[in-house]
Amino acid sequence: MSFNKSGQNSFHAFIQNYRTVKASAFTHTSMMSPIASFYIPGPDEEKFLKLYNEALERNEKLHMTEKHRDISPILIDLDFRYPNEKTFLQRQYSMDSIKSLIKVYLEEVSQYVDESKFEVYIMEKSKPIQYEKKNVIKDGVHIVIPNIVTNLSLQLMLREQLLSKLSFIEEEAKCINKIDDIVDKAVIDKNNWMMYGSCKPYNEPYLITNHITFNINDDNEITEHNNRIDTEKPWMYTEILSIRNKYEECIYREDKREFIENMEYAYQDQKIKRTIINKSQQSK
């Protein structure tokens, strides 16, 4: 893909036209330069991504996040915390342990979705990060399965069901936090998701280190195929990994559809009630 390299600030100039005021609806935020919220309407999403990709190609520092819609590709955010000791500046977890965790997750997911092929993107930073002020070292992994798009209530339920089965990662990663904290809950529906190529201020982005195609057969046997990734062209992956450009849920297994629908109804009902309570408290 070839991009126009002129107009150094064209992306930032574009998004300024969509800046929102506090408490207004928004679709994206920027965590720095500027710190702001934006509402990008559907018809303008394509241009937004095009200009974002051009900025990535120019190696601009970007800090953009996406707000969740009611459906999302499956997201898994693993956060590992370590004592502030030199030993833990070296990565503690192995990719084999991450793959094991993914397989446990996929075995459960496959009980609800009518799909046997899973495109899994694994993203990492280059190394663990030391936070002197907090006296801690942090590491992490972002996992996205873009071809499996579900409602958020299903992803929340899957996380709760799987915590006990995933606890092996505590020992394998040698971290000090427990599984309930390792597998981030808020990122499923409450916290915005970082756009691919963006990062928190004064930090580095999570970048793809593995793209693996997992297949599950009728006997629940899992095979995997490692795909080539292009580390020199991050803009190739922004659309694939976006959480806002997925408009159709995957097909659920027939014997699970009613259960999933009822669970989603209850989730949305609670969401509406929380919104009413929050607005009531803000008006006092």
* DSSP per-residue codes, 103-118: HHHHHHHTTTBS-SEE
Residue 253 lies in a domain: yes
Question: Model confidence at 284, in pLDDT bands (50, 70, 90)?
Answer: low
Same domain? 54 vs 139: no
Q: Which helix (H) or strand (E) holds 266?
A: helix 257-282
Q: Are residues 191 and 261 in the same domain?
A: yes
Query: Which pLDDT belongs to residue 283?
Result: 66
58 and 192 fall within a common domain: no
**Structure confidence at residue 280 as a pLDDT band (50, 70, 90):** confident
**Per-residue confidence at 9, pLDDT binned at 50, 70, 90?**
low
pLDDT in the model for residue 1: 40
pLDDT in tens, 196-218: 999 999 999 999 999 999 999 99
Please check whether residue 258 lies inside any domain of the structure.
Answer: yes
Please say which residue of 62, 84, 105 terminates a domain: 62
Please say if the pLDDT value at position 243 is more than 70. Answer: yes
Walk across the sheet containing 28-31 and list its strands: 35-38, 28-31, 64-66, 193-194
Does position 180 have pLDDT exceeding 50, yes or no? Answer: yes
Q: Which domain range does residue 97 map to?
A: 70-272
pLDDT (0 to 100) of residue 273 = 87
**Per-residue model confidence as pLDDT tens digits over 101-146:** 999 999 999 999 999 999 999 999 999 999 988 999 999 999 999 9
Do 77 and 57 share a structural domain? no
| Domain co-membership, 119 together with 210 | yes
Q: Give the end of a domain, one of 62, 79, 106.
A: 62
Is there a domain that residue 283 lies in? no
Does residue 181 fall inside a structural domain? yes
Q: Both 99 and 132 in a single domain?
A: yes
Sequence-ordered strand ranges (E) for 155-229:
193-194, 207-216, 222-227
The pair of structure tokens assigned to 1 is 């893909």
Residue 269 pLDDT:
93
Contacts for 148 with CB less than 8 Å, ≥ 6 apart:
73, 74, 109, 113, 115, 118, 250
Q: Are residues 51 and 147 in the same domain?
A: no
Sheet strands (E) in the chain: 28-31, 35-38, 64-66, 71-83, 117-124, 129-131, 136-151, 193-194, 207-216, 222-227
Does residue 138 sit in the same domain as residue 101?
A: yes
Range in 179-188, 229-238, 254-263 with the lowest mean pLDDT: 229-238
Looking at the domain assignment, is residue 2 inside a domain?
A: no
Percent of the chain with pLDDT over 70: 95
What average pLDDT does the chain have? 94
pLDDT at 232: 85
pLDDT of 5 above 70: no
Residues 261, 175 within the same domain: yes
**One domain for residues 198 and 246:** yes
- Does residue 227 fall inside a structural domain? yes
Residues 54 and 96 in one domain: no
Residues 6 or more apart whose CB falls under 8 angstroms from that of 270 comprise none
Judge whether 45 lies within some domain: yes
Task: Give the count of domains, the chain.
Answer: 2
Inside any domain, residue 281: no
Taking 60 as the threshold, does the pLDDT of residue 3 lie above it?
A: no
Residues 16 and 83 reside in one and the same domain: no
Where is average pLDDT lowest: 2-6, 44-48, 53-57, 63-67?
2-6
